[in-house]
Structure 1
Amino acid sequence: MSLQLNTTQKIGAALLLALVAYALGAPLFKDGDSISQNLSAIMSAPGGQFWFGTDHFGRDMWLRLADALRLSLMMAALCVLTAATIGVTAGVLAATQGGWVDRLLDGVVTILLALPGLVLVLIFAAIVPGSFWMLYVAISLIQWIEYFRVSRAITQRMITSPAVQSSRLMGFGGWYLFKRHYWPAIAPQLLTLAAFGAANAILMMASLGFVYVGIQPPLAELGLMIVEHFPYYSDAPWLLVLPLSVLALMVLSCHLLGRRTQDQGEAA
């Protein structure tokens, strides 16, 4: 199945690729790390030795932004991959098996939907403060629900189709039915779900850092950087503008990538 992107999605993909290139390539252009402090160069303006300036501890913002961006992209990718795998698998199983399997999974989803997503993530974050992997588990636990609901609805509609019924009569098993019938119907919806899911994962991680319950210092994380730099916005405005801009560009690229035209929606 070929993936065709409209103009808006291509702009989003190009912007996202540029951010990935900066996150992976920035350390290749400068020596050092994002943690080392240089107290003789506190809040240096961008330019010269420090291309993006330094923060209130003299740490290089070029390297810190790259580390924070890399951390956010990793969180988004892991959450999307995990949530999609669990959600699609559970959704197809619920639709094809029916009975107690469907009722059980639907009950689990109902319970999770009854809890505010951010509150659930905060609970997990409180268990192991500052743990990247605990945040990943918590965000994935919330995001798989959307994939489940979409996959279940599509599969339930496909089960009664003549094509699926014909394959069943010919003796094909569940794996063939999934590859031949269910997956081609589900896959076109996944790009939109994944794009918005990635944006939500990035924002949720930044929100936790903003209230000091996410990634802890001295690691670089966009939400944490924003709240740490806020007191210095009048003396060094670039400290606040840079992480805010990177966060906004990441979310914008995901939203553009997930935007579908009316024709695409009808075709899917």
Structure 2
Amino acid sequence: MKLNSRRTGLLLLVLLLGYAFLLPLFHFGDPLQQELLNMLQPPSYANLLGFDHLGRDMLPRLSAALRLSLGLAALCVISALITGVLAGVLSALYGGMLDRVIGMLADMCLALPGLLLVLLLAAIAPDSPQMLWLGISLVLWVEFFRVTRATLLSIIEAPGMQASKLLGFSPLYRFRRHLWPALAPVLLTIALFSFSSAIMAVSALGFISVGVRPPTPELGLMMTELLPFAWEAPWLLLQPVIALFLLLISLNLMMKKEGK
């Protein structure tokens, strides 16, 4: 039986979402509670993922880390999508000076590497997830803007679009009837790619302790904390690594086009 990559990726993502958001309903462990007598205890039937170097239960801790990464990445992608699509639609429809101004803003955001831009904003307000959200959103919106603008430029001059305009249909109707059907499939792919990029950015910045600080559970930050115990308790370091790998591979599978 041939496996469907997109369905496999979706199933994997649903399982990770279930673990991240449904576990607190059934497991009432505190991801911040320390029990030093349980330091580096391996997984067992009573504690499925064991305890970290401070005696914190890894089961709720890994769940909280996934919630943070997923929630922050989703917020960044939604903000970037709304901003980029709105800017792309306005730029394509009206052109002229508005198009040049928005294009200049996009070029300004691309003038610096993405992570460097986020680091600069995080340096302005250390320990601020809001700056992390703003920086990642500023990096991601440009792709939505460029693709939206390029996709719509050819459609605006199409006979169907021109006929709707001459017949007096509202801009909202013209967008829903002519522009959105061509834009939606492209935006879905970009949104998945941006979601993957945002998760990687949050984890990379957490790994260097930017934006999120201990004791907040976050995948990249957990890797940094557990790295000194890699030889003594390798199962601990593997947990955030595997969680991040599964999260990214699920999103990449959903972006993959099915072959014949």
TM-score range, shorter chain: over 0.9
Letter in 2 for 1:131: S
In the other structure, the counterpart of 2:196 is: 199
Letter in 2 for 1:9: R
Q: Which residue, out of 172, 175, 182, partners 2:172?
A: 175
CA distance in 2, matches of 1:79, 1:262: 31
C-alpha distance after superposition, 1:148-201 (max 9, x if no partner) = 011101110101101001111111232221111111110011111111111110
In the other structure, the counterpart of 1:39 is: 36
Instruction: Go from structure 1 to structure 2 and tell me whether the alpha carbon gap of 1:262 and 1:99 turns closer, same or farther (over 3 Å shift).
Output: farther
In the other structure, the counterpart of 2:246 is: 249
Q: Which residue, out of 200, 204, 208, partners 2:205?
A: 208
Letter in 1 for 2:53: H
Q: Does 1:147 align with 2:144?
A: yes
Instruction: Go from structure 1 to structure 2 and tell me whether the alpha carbon gap of 1:169 and 1:262 turns closer, same or farther (over 3 Å shift).
Output: farther
Once the two structures are TM-superposed, the CA of residue 115 in structure 1 deviates from its matched residue by: 1.1
CA distance in 1, matches of 2:158, 2:232: 65
CA distance in 2, matches of 1:110, 1:216: 32
CA distance in 1, matches of 2:128, 2:253: 30
In the other structure, the counterpart of 1:221 is: 218
In the other structure, the counterpart of 2:82 is: 85
CA distance in 2, matches of 1:38, 1:131: 28
How many residue pairs get aligned? The number is: 258
Instruction: Go from structure 1 to structure 2 and tell me whether the alpha carbon gap of 1:28 and 1:171 turns closer, same or farther (over 3 Å shift).
Output: closer
Q: Which runs of 4+ in 1 moved over 4 A?
A: none
- Between the aligned residues of both structures, percent identity stands at 46
C-alpha distance after superposition, 1:53-73 (max 9, x if no partner) = 000000000011000000011
Query: What secondary structure, in the 3-state scheme, does the structure 1 residue paired with 2:42 have?
Result: coil
Report the RMSD for the aligned CA atoms in angstroms: 1.4
Q: Is the 8 A contact 2:73 2:202 kept in 1?
A: no
Q: Does 1:63 align with 2:52?
A: no
Once the two structures are TM-superposed, the CA of residue 36 in structure 1 deviates from its matched residue by: 0.6
Q: Structure 2: any 5+ residue segments left out of the alignment?
A: none
Q: Structure 1: any 5+ residue segments left out of the alignment?
A: 1-5, 264-268
Once the two structures are TM-superposed, the CA of residue 256 in structure 1 deviates from its matched residue by: 1.0
Q: Is the 8 A contact 2:4 2:258 kept in 1?
A: no
CA distance in 1, matches of 2:62, 2:234: 15
In the other structure, the counterpart of 1:3 is: none
Letter in 1 for 2:138: L
Q: Is the 8 A contact 2:40 2:52 kept in 1?
A: yes
In the other structure, the counterpart of 1:76 is: 73
1:107-118 correspondence runs (5 A)? 107-118=104-115
Once the two structures are TM-superposed, the CA of residue 221 in structure 1 deviates from its matched residue by: 0.3
Query: What secondary structure, in the 3-state scheme, does the structure 1 residue paired with 2:233 have?
Result: coil
CA distance in 2, matches of 1:259, 1:107: 32
Report the TM-score when normalising by structure 2.
Answer: 0.96
CA distance in 1, matches of 2:159, 2:258: 29
CA distance in 2, matches of 1:15, 1:32: 24
Q: Is the 8 A contact 2:129 2:212 kept in 1?
A: yes
Q: Is the 8 A contact 1:44 1:50 kept in 2?
A: no
Q: Is the 8 A contact 2:77 2:195 kept in 1?
A: yes
Q: Does 1:237 align with 2:215?
A: no
Once the two structures are TM-superposed, the CA of residue 130 in structure 1 deviates from its matched residue by: 2.1
C-alpha distance after superposition, 1:221-257 (max 9, x if no partner) = 0000001100101110011100000001111111111
